[in-house]
Structure 1
Amino acid sequence: MTIVREAGEAGEAEGREYWLLGTAHVSRESVVAVEETIRQGGIDHVVVEIDHQRYQSVTQKRDWSQLDIFQILRKGQAFLLLSNLVLASFQRRMGAGTGVTPGEEMIAAVKAASEVGIGSTFGDRPVTATLRRAWAKTGFWGRNKLLASMVAAAFSREKVSEEDLAKLREQNELESMLQELSDYLPQVKEVLIDERDRYLARSISEAPGRRVLAVVGAGHVPGIARTLEGLRAGTVRVSKAELEEIPPPGALRRVLPYAVPLLVGALILWGFFRGGLEGGLQSLVRWILVNGTLSAAGAAAALAHPLTILLAFAAAPITSMNPTVGVGLVTGLVEAFLRKPRVADFERLNDDIVSLRGFYRNRLTRILLVFLLSSVGSSIGTFIALPLLFG
């Protein structure tokens, strides 16, 4: 338990206290510690590291039947949905090893606070804002690195025990893991950890009462404590509204979708000028074969419908030249049309996302895999084809 104290105001003998209780999100020991801390008394208010949307998703079984996969694809939200599902898969697998539902200690905190007659606050940033900011701040390859890491973790067969979770709550172990995340995906670490540290600290400082208990993941405790100290000293400023804003794309991200097609087009035209009709056609064929083949290979790896695979080959060289339409949108929509998700797919979704086999078996998640892998294949094909066009 980390305690941050504020000096008392004029006329007050004691200032406010913020009790930061670090937990492991799938640990039975954490659930017990939270309940005991609240029920022992002396707490005026409880802040939990969860937002209202996630609290509802944890306490109420989500009805996936209302999900419109066509709209998800058209609105460009397939990456976000896939990330959500992979994250849910990871959390369920972690919980299966300890018999604890992910976030159960947060539910226990809200329930215990209600039982002893004190208020509670959902202190975390909305998960949609967090994911959108992470997506906006991470480039295409960074997104795929993040998804690859999440998929590897979600489908790992490694068992998680209470002893493992106890190690995760140790400061040295946490600092090492956070440093690894910072080295591998610095933008993601900034959004998922650092920004939420500040957001949670602001929520805690705004909570009523003299003694506030904050139930947060152990990895957030040091950052929250530093931010609370900074807020107290006036050296740190935190705006929740700013932390919920989706940053606009940077100059490179705005230019690149147009620059690459222009470069490809220029190189193909250069092939005609340099080598005549034969040279130009050779450049064009190289572009089509490399880009189309790798996109089709990605679709095939997702076990897409044969027509979807053929369309990936045909569409990728064209969509790669159009910054407004990606091949994943085309293949995803076609796969969704050819293999519409059934009622059973929605009913089994919570169970299917726990295993890689389930991801492939479920038509809904397979559509997302088709979207992702055909897009990755086309992107790789673009960068492989570019130097070949110089030849």
Structure 2
Amino acid sequence: MTEIRLVGTAHVSQKSVEDVRSAIEEFQPDIVGVELDRGRFISLTQETPDPTVTEILKGGNFGRLLVQWVLAFIQQRIGAETGVKPGAEMLAAIEEAEAHQRPVALIDRDIRITLSRFWGKMRIWEKIKLIGALIYSLVGVEGQEIDVDEFTNQDVVSAAMEEFRKFSPRGAQALIDERDAYLAHQLLMLGSRYERVLAVVGAGHIQGVQRYLDAPETLPPLQSLTADVKGLPWAKIIGAGVTLLFALLIAAIGFSGVGLDVLLAALVYWVLINGILSAVFTLLAGGHPFSAATAFGVSWLTSLNPALAAGWFAAIVEAKIRKPTTGELQQILKAETFSEMRRIPLFRVVLVAALANVGSTLGTFAYFIFIFPVLGIDPAVVVSDGFANMLQMLQGLL
């Protein structure tokens, strides 16, 4: 009869390292499953080259990349406080299994799939709250006493999981629930080939995985846990909507009869509002004045084209000036403070890219909110007269 035993760990806990070694020694499993995918296994056990700056810039999605880096930074800082390297318990499981001549199975979902589904499933408001919480954590983790071993206490873990669900229900589904199911799938497959299976997983997964092991019929299909998140391409839809709205607005002003000077002012303000906010946010990120000037120069155009982003252009200029090197990713993860991270050229480039885009987006919304008060015209009159005149012209042409 197959026996599957779970060991719950905290990722930066010396006690977890000892618990893993004791469990393998006592249980004598036929195979040890660890909560790692191939990529994390390689990075944990081997020296791997960092991605080049060009690869990072081509990858885009700078907001998600910053979240990933900040999460790694926070975990690294907690590990430094406790004297335990993140992932030490998984490494201990691998080494102990090899010492007992037992095979090791990688049972976690590919981290790229998890992050993609996590970010893709979260609503915009959840993403904003997450980024805010991470910024707060960058400050809060400094000098704070943390009892990491409490993170293996199931009452504490359950409370933390419930708080995260309130904070981001859809994020929790991708990060926790789906991985519970994926881990259970992998363990059941191992159980069909081995009699004694030991699984080393984060304490937050213990209850969910055990529920699925006790009732395998409730498991969702494995394919549904690895497929791309299908949904409406909101970024493209919103971008196209902005382009259409701006075109209609300019057309309405042009045909309303308020005068060419007002039309030109509307166009100038589009350039200024988008450009100034994008440039300001670039400077807030610590960007070079040339990068800010680039963001200012392109923001008005990128706001009208969903395929372009002001941050890409600002980041390219920033990279040319700062000249980051490939070895700086490890420096980012080993930084002592957020200020130290910001001084690393590679981090600065990505931060510039992300914040330039934020500034450009805010500029677009600000334009549509304030343009009529700034121009000193009544929007209802301009829109109604503009569209009435356009309709009359079209009827005349037909």
Pairwise TM-score range, normalised by the shorter structure: 0.7 to 0.9
How far residue 344 of structure 1 moved from its aligned partner, in angstroms, is 6.9
| Aligned partners of 1:291 and 1:316 also within 8 Å | yes
Matched, 1:102 2:102: no
**Alignment partner, residue 365 of structure 1:** 347
How far residue 366 of structure 1 moved from its aligned partner, in angstroms, is 0.4
Give the whole-Å Cα distance in 2 for the aligned partners of 1:343 and 1:55.
21
Matched, 1:87 2:74: no
Corresponding residue SS for 1:214: strand
Amino acid at match of 1:44: D
Give the whole-Å Cα distance in 2 for the aligned partners of 1:78 and 1:252.
17
Aligned length: 370
Counterparts in 2 of 1:124 and 1:177: CA distance versus 1, 3 Å: same
**Alignment partner, residue 308 of structure 1:** 291
1:63-74 aligned within 5 A = 63-64=49-50, 67-74=51-58
Matched, 1:380 2:362: yes
Give the whole-Å Cα distance in 1 for the aligned partners of 2:23 and 2:158.
25
Q: What is the Cα-based RMSD across aligned positions, in Å?
A: 2.3
Counterparts in 2 of 1:313 and 1:383: CA distance versus 1, 3 Å: same
Amino acid at match of 1:172: D
Counterparts in 2 of 1:178 and 1:346: CA distance versus 1, 3 Å: closer
Amino acid at match of 1:189: A
Give the whole-Å Cα distance in 2 for the aligned partners of 1:133 and 1:104.
26
Matched, 1:211 2:162: no
Give the whole-Å Cα distance in 2 for the aligned partners of 1:171 and 1:345.
37
How far residue 63 of structure 1 moved from its aligned partner, in angstroms, is 3.0
How far residue 80 of structure 1 moved from its aligned partner, in angstroms, is 4.3
Amino acid at match of 2:280: A
1:204-353 aligned within 5 A = 204-207=187-190, 208-231=193-216, 234-239=217-222, 241-250=223-232, 252-274=234-256, 275-342=258-325, 345=328, 348-352=331-335
Give the whole-Å Cα distance in 2 for the aligned partners of 1:167 and 1:327.
44
Ranges in structure 2 where 5+ consecutive residues have no aligned partner: 374-398
**Alignment partner, residue 19 of structure 1:** 5
**Alignment partner, residue 40 of structure 2:** 54
**Alignment partner, residue 36 of structure 1:** 22
**Larger deviation: 132-141 or 46-55?**
132-141
Give the whole-Å Cα distance in 1 for the aligned partners of 2:229 and 2:27.
42
| Aligned partners of 1:336 and 1:367 also within 8 Å | yes
Deviations 1:144-192 (A, max 9, x none): 4433433432453445657x22332233322222222222222221111
- Bigger Rg over Cα: 2
Give the whole-Å Cα distance in 1 for the aligned partners of 2:326 and 2:172.
37
Ranges in structure 1 where 5+ consecutive residues have no aligned partner: 1-14
**Alignment partner, residue 117 of structure 2:** 133
> Which of 167, 177, 180 is matched with 2:150 structurally?
167
**Alignment partner, residue 6 of structure 1:** none
Counterparts in 2 of 1:327 and 1:46: CA distance versus 1, 3 Å: same
Give the whole-Å Cα distance in 1 for the aligned partners of 2:72 and 2:140.
14
Matched, 1:194 2:180: no
Deviations 1:243-271 (A, max 9, x none): 22222342544422211221122223322
How far residue 298 of structure 1 moved from its aligned partner, in angstroms, is 0.8
| Aligned partners of 2:274 and 2:296 also within 8 Å | yes
TM-score by length of 2: 0.86
Give the whole-Å Cα distance in 2 for the aligned partners of 1:213 and 1:339.
48
| Aligned partners of 1:268 and 1:389 also within 8 Å | no
| Aligned partners of 1:21 and 1:214 also within 8 Å | yes
**Alignment partner, residue 153 of structure 1:** 137
| Aligned partners of 2:52 and 2:326 also within 8 Å | no
Corresponding residue SS for 1:40: helix
